[in-house]
Structure 1
Amino acid sequence: MADELKLYTTPGSTFAFRVELALILKGINYKIVEENTKNKSADLLKYNPVHKQVPVLVHNGNPISESLVIDDVWKGYPILPQDPYEKSVVRFWAKFIDSTCILAILKVFGSNGAEHAIAEAHKQLQVVENKLAVEGNKFFGGDNINLIDIAASFIAYWLGMLEEGTGIKFVPKDKFPKITEWADNFLKVEVVKDVLPPRVIPPKAQLLAFFKQRFGDS
């Protein structure tokens, strides 16, 4: 019996993009199930009862509901190293970018560009900049993208849209040249271009309302 794989997502989801990119890189067939965030299906609520959000990857009825917890049971394109130590290092950096760096970036928009938020975002981005500078690779994964690159896709693509949509521009290319170079290389990868959603700039008021709702006025 063939594997059944479904990806529950919404159009333009930054987190679902990660999962879809990993699946395509590995050459895995899957079915997209689009969700309405204002009217979530019974299946989504069943498969992700804690967060009740997309993405959810369902493999033969077994749900995986975090974008960085990508099922690695399939062979093919390696998004993680085989060596246990190297694998743990990659997972560490992917988690750092996801839970520390991107969160700091989102708080800049949530605070409407407060100086202290920008300073914290620059601090975390500088850690990423330094890693790229020291290693000197085209991607975090060397010559090929890996889980870290997938986690950082928000920085490569969605950050620019948020800066343009809100008018809050705080990541200058001259301050972060390695991140800029990495992002350019990442967005040139054919499979990445194929999976990325259309570039749509939401109105500033809509974006700021979203971040205010998420982070409050702090």
Structure 2
Amino acid sequence: MTMATSGEVKIIGLWASSYCVRIEVALKLKGISYEYIDEDLSNKSPLLLQLNPIHKKVPVLLHNGKTIAESLIILEYIDETWPDLPALLPKDPYERALLRFWANFFDSKLSGSGRTIFITEGEEQEKEVAVLKENLNVLENGLKKDFGDKKSFCNGETPGYLEVVMGPSFFWLKILEDVSRAKLIDHKNTPFLFSWLTEFCEFGVAKDALPDQAKLVAFAKKRREMLMESSKHQ
């Protein structure tokens, strides 16, 4: 893919973060070249604290000196700033609203459960696995109803906004299964969701942006041990 001339574009992120991978995939789908600055969140850089002083989190997009934070907001900024490049969101207001609704549902309902499963075990983990599976079933039925007649993706032949939001986290869910030994998502219980997101993870630029699986598993295991140990002393 030929990269577009788009001024200075930088991502301040963490290679292992699904939220940061969202931004990379979006820029790659648009064909926008960018510089990636990897953060150490255990020792946050002065640059990150300067650019995102409120939340002090990644990702942060820096475009021609302008700073944008929060992944969902960044994705919409990217789409609106480069409207002549492949669109992430459709033009129809109702379809845009549906995509935003499910993106918000995904982030608000599933992200917290994933974190809890990541740092717990036993009964506490089992309860959260049940919550996550219930929300995955809601997502399965809702997406099948709203987008089941689409071709490959909600956006048509190529991934768009909702795939970019959910796809990297789906990749993380599979890593979470390896680390926590909890069965979370499969083709039997959520066939539409599983097939759709598997296709995203195999799609050209998305596959290129996803972290190395073995490296991510090692990172996740180390991170989980650290967080679980830390929780014992709170």
Q: Secondary structure in 2 aligned to 1:88?
A: helix
Whether 2:70 is the aligned partner of 1:66: answer: yes
Equivalence for 1:3:
7
Equivalence for 2:112:
103
- d(CA) in 1 for partners of 2:163, 2:228: 25
Please list every run of 5 or more consecutive structure 2 residues that lacks an aligned counterpart in the other structure.
none
Pair 205,11 (structure 1): closer, same or farther in 2 beyond 3 Å: closer
Give the alignment of 1:25-174 within 5 angstroms.
25-69=29-73, 70=75, 71=77, 72=79, 73-75=81-83, 76-112=85-121, 114-134=125-145, 135-136=147-148, 137=150, 138-174=152-188
Deviations 1:167-203 (A, max 9, x none): 1223343111112211221112011111111013136
The one-letter amino acid of 1:11's match is W
Q: With the length of structure 1 as denominator, give the TM-score of the two structures.
A: 0.87
Shift of 1:57: 0.1
The one-letter amino acid of 1:115's match is E
Give 1 or 2: higher helix fraction. 2
Shift of 1:110: 3.4
Shift of 1:145: 1.4
Shift of 1:211: 6.2
Deviations 1:53-87 (A, max 9, x none): 21100111111111111212112111111223322
**Mean Cα displacement is larger for which, 102-111 or 89-98?**
102-111
The one-letter amino acid of 1:170's match is L
Shift of 1:147: 1.1
Deviations 1:22-60 (A, max 9, x none): 011111121111222233222210110112121100111
Please list every run of 5 or more consecutive structure 1 residues that lacks an aligned counterpart in the other structure.
none
Q: Percent identity, aligned pairs only?
A: 34
The one-letter amino acid of 1:210's match is L
Instruction: Report the RMSD for the aligned CA atoms in angstroms.
Output: 2.5
